[in-house]
Amino acid sequence: MPQKIKYLLLLLACVFTQAAFAQIPVNPNTNPGDPQRRVNLRDTSTRNGGKKLTDDQQMDTLRKNQERRKDSVVFNSKLIRVTSERFLRDSTVLFPLDTGLYNYENYSPLLQPRSPKISLGNTGLPARSLLFEPSHTIGFETGLHELDPYMLRPENINYYRARVPFTQLYLVGYTGVKEQIFKITHAQNVNPQLNVGFNLNFTGSRGYYSNNSVLSQNVSDVNAAGFAWYESKGKRYNLLTNLIYNNIKAPVTGSILNDSIFVTGSIDKSTLPVRLPASYENWKGASFYLKQTYYIGHIDSTVAGKGKANILPTQRLAYTIKYDALKYEYLQNGDDNYNVFPDYYFSSNRSRDSLSVKHLQNDFSYSFYLRSKKEKAIKNELKLDVGLTQDIFSYSQFVSDTTLDQYGSKVVRAIKQQATSFQDLTVKGRLSYKLSDRAALEGNVQQIVQGRDFGDFLYDAKLTLAGNNKAGKIILEGYSQSSTAPLAYTSWVSNHFIFHNKFSNQKTNSVSFNYINSPLKLDLKVEYFLINDYLYFTAQDNGIDAHPAQLSSPINLIKVSFGKSIAWRRWHFDDYIVYQKTDYQSTLRTPQVYNYASLYYKTLLFNVLYSNIGVDVRYNSTYSAPSYAPGLGQFYNGPNVMFSSYPVATVFLKATLQRTNLFIMYDYANQGLFSKGYYTVNRYPQQDAALKIGVSWTFYN
- Does 158 reside within a domain? yes
Establish if 542 belongs to a structural domain: yes
Q: Give 257-263 contacts, CB < 8 A, sequence gap 24+.
A: 257/338, 259/683, 261/676, 261/677, 261/685, 262/675, 262/676, 262/677, 262/678, 262/685, 263/676
Range of the domain at 178: 75-129+139-699
| Whole-angstrom Cα Rg for the chain | 28
**CATH code for position 624:** 2.40.170.20
pLDDT tens digits for range 603-628? 999 888 999 999 999 999 999 999 99
Residue 58 main-chain phi, psi, to 5 deg: -60, -45
Asked if 398 and 415 touch (Cβ cutoff 8 Å), the reply is yes
Residue 64's pLDDT is: 52
- Specify the DSSP class assigned to residue 557: E
Residue 31: inside a domain: no
Q: What is the pLDDT of residue 300?
A: 64
Domain presence at residue 65:
no
Pairing type for strands 158-162 and 166-174 reads unpaired
Is the residue at 181 inside a domain? yes
Query: CA 657 → CA 20, 24, 26, 101, distances in Å?
Result: 10, 10, 16, 11
Domains of the chain: total = 1
In three-state secondary structure terms, 605 is: strand
The whole-angstrom separation of Cα 285 and Cα 251 is: 18
CB 652 within 8 Å of CB 664:
yes
What whole-number distance in Å separates Cα of residue 493 and Cα of residue 632?
10
334 assigned to some structural domain: yes
Measured CA to CA, the distance from residue 368 to residue 295 in angstroms comes to 10
Contact call for residues 532 and 559 (beta carbons, < 8 A): no
Report which DSSP code applies to 29.
T
pLDDT, position 127:
96
| DSSP per-residue letters across 97-145 | -----TTTT--SGGG-TTS-EEESSSTTS-EEESS-------S------
Q: What is the pLDDT of residue 35?
A: 37
Identify the pLDDT of residue 674.
Answer: 81
Residue 211 pLDDT = 56
Residue 43 domain-assigned (yes or no):
no
Please tell me the predicted confidence (pLDDT) of residue 28. 42
In a domain, 201, yes or no: yes
Mean pLDDT by 10 residues, the chain (701 residues): 45 41 40 39 38 52 49 62 86 83 90 94 93 94 95 95 91 79 95 95 82 68 96 90 96 86 69 86 97 84 51 86 97 91 91 96 93 62 93 96 70 87 96 87 96 96 90 95 96 95 96 95 97 96 92 96 96 97 93 97 92 96 94 94 91 92 94 87 90 92 73
Instruction: Please answer whether residues 153 and 689 qualify as being in contact, where contact means their C-beta atoms are separated by less than 8 angstroms.
Output: no
312: left (phi over 0), alpha (psi -120 to 50) or beta: beta
pLDDT at residue 329 in the model = 96
Cβ atoms of residues 73 and 62 within 8 Å: yes
Closest CA to 340 of 216, 495, 127: 495
Give the contacts of 496 (CB within 8 A, at least 6 positions apart). Answer: 341, 342, 343, 344, 345, 351, 631, 632
Beta bridge partners of 697: 169, 660
CA distance 286 to 274: 33
